[in-house]
Amino acid sequence: MLRVGLIGCGRISDIYIQNCQSYNELQLVGCASLDMAESREKARQYDIGIVCSADELISHPDIDCILNLTVPSAHTDIALAALESGKHVFSEKPFATDLAQGRAVLKRALDNQLLVGNAPDTFLGGRWQTCRALIDSGVIGMPTGVAAFVGTHGVERHNPNPDFYYLEGGGPMLDLGPYYVTAMVSVLGPISRVCGLSRKTFSERMIETGHRSGEMIPVEVDTHTMGMIEFESGVIGSITMSFDIWDSETPRFEIYGEEGTLCIPDPDPVHGANQFGGEVWYRTRENSRWAYQPRVTGKDSWTVAENCHGYNDNSRGLGLLDLAVAVKEKRQPRASGELAYHVSEALTGILEAPARGGYIDIASTCQRPEPLPQQFP
C-alpha cells in the first residue's frame, strides 16, 4: 500500500481524498496546506491522521508519496522537494509553468529512482479508454486528423478565488488544454510541431460568486487561444480553448480517420467531458452523412460505442492509483511526468508560437501510455 501525504487542501482536494480513501492500494495518512485551519478541517472531515506544514509532511518518514494539489506556481517546488526527500510525487496540472523546471523534476526523479505522475488522468477514464480501444481496433481506419474545441466564459462565475486562472501559468490553453492534448497523445502518439494564435479579450474580470463577489481581478494571460498540432504519425489537429465564449454549439472532441469519424459530443467542463465518463459516438463510411440524401445529422445518426471500461465517474486520483501499482510493478505510471512534460511543451509552444516566429518543433517525446485494462487494478 502506498502511503500518501496530501499538500493542498483546496477545492479539488475533496474528490481526490474521497477516491484515495476508496482505493485499496492507497492510504492517505497526512495533509498540509498554507492554511493550518483549512488543513485541520480537512483532516477532521476525512479522519486524516497527520496535519502539519508542507515541509514537515515532505520530510515525514511514514509517507511514500506526495499528492501535490497546490496552485500551479507551487507545483514544481513541491515536486522537487518531495523527490529530494525520497518520495514519489503525483501533481495536479499543469506539470510545469516553466519547462526548465519541468525538466528538473524529471531529472531528479530519474536520479533518485522515484516516480513522477501528473494530472490530467481523465484519459484513463472509461470514455477515453473506449476511444483508445476503438482507434486501436481500426473502427475509423488510419487516423488522419483531430479537433478539440471548448468554449467557456472562464471560472469567475463559480470559483470564489479564480485569481490563478488569469495569472502567468493560467489561461484556458494551460488549464483546459492538458485534458484534450493528453487524450490526443494517449490515442495518437507524440507531437512533432505546433503553432498558434491567441488573444486577451478582457484585461480585468469580475468575481461573481462568494465573499469577494464584485471584486475585479487582473488578467495577465491570453484567454482566447487556438493551436495547430502535427503528430509524429502525420496526423494533424486543431485546438481552441477559450474563457471568452459565452455560448457555442461547436464543443466537440473529434478524431477523423480514413474510414470514419469518432466524436465526443460534449467536451466541456460543465458537462464533464474533461472528466472520465460519457458517450463516445462514431460513424463510418457506411453510415456517413455523405452516404445519405437528404443528409442526416444529430445524435440519432451516430453509433454510440459500447463502453466496457471502468472509472466512468469522477475518478480524479486514478493516475495516482496507477502510480501505486507502477511502484509494485517497477514500471512508469501511465499518467507519467514524461507525458505531462511533453504535453506542457506542446501547449507552451502553441502560446509562444507567434512571438517565436511560427511553427515550434517539439523537442521532447514520450511513450504512448499502455491502455488501462478493463479490470484495474
Ligand X SMILES: NC(=O)c1ccc[n+]([C@@H]2O[C@H](COP(=O)([O-])OP(=O)(O)OC[C@H]3O[C@@H](n4cnc5c(N)ncnc54)[C@H](O)[C@@H]3O)[C@@H](O)[C@H]2O)c1
Which residues would be at the binding site for ligand X (CB under 6 A)? 7-13, 33-35, 38, 54, 69-72, 74, 92-93, 161
> Grid coordinates standing for 311?
472509472
* Residue closer to ligand X (CB basis): 8 or 117: 8
Buried b or exposed e, range 223-256, using 16+ CB within 10 angstroms:
bbbbbbbbbeeebebebbbbbbbeeeeebbbbbb
Nearest distance, CB of residue 8 and ligand X, angstroms: 3
Bridge partners of 205?
217
Strands 26-32 and 50-51: parallel
d(CA 253, CA 149): 6
The letter for the amino acid at 216 is: M
Question: What's the grid cell of residue 164?
Answer: 490563478
Instruction: Tell me whether residue 213 or residue 297 sits nearer to ligand X (CB atom).
Output: 213
368 CB contacts (<8 Å, ≥6 apart)? 185, 186, 187, 189, 190
Nearest approach, Cβ of 202 to ligand X (angstroms)? 20
Residues in Cβ contact with 324 at an 8 Å cutoff, skipping those fewer than 6 apart: 1, 2, 23, 25, 26, 65
Identify whether 377 is preceded by a cis peptide bond (ω within 30 of 0).
yes
Based on CB atoms, which residue is closest to ligand X, 67 or 139?
67
CB 69, min distance to ligand X, A: 5
CB of residue 309 to ligand X, shortest distance in Å: 21
Q: How far apart are CA 4 and CA 19, in angstroms?
A: 12
Q: Toward ligand X, which CB reaches closer, 74 or 273?
A: 74
Nearer to ligand X, 11 or 44 (CB): 11
Least distance in Å: CB of 32 to ligand X?
6
In the bound complex, which residue of the shown chain has the CB atom lying closest to ligand X? 10
User: Is the CB of 92 or the CB of 156 nearer to ligand X?
Assistant: 92
Can you tell me the distance from the alpha carbon of 23 to that of 200, in angstroms, rounded to the nearest whole number?
42
* Closest distance to ligand X from the beta carbon of 170 (Å): 8
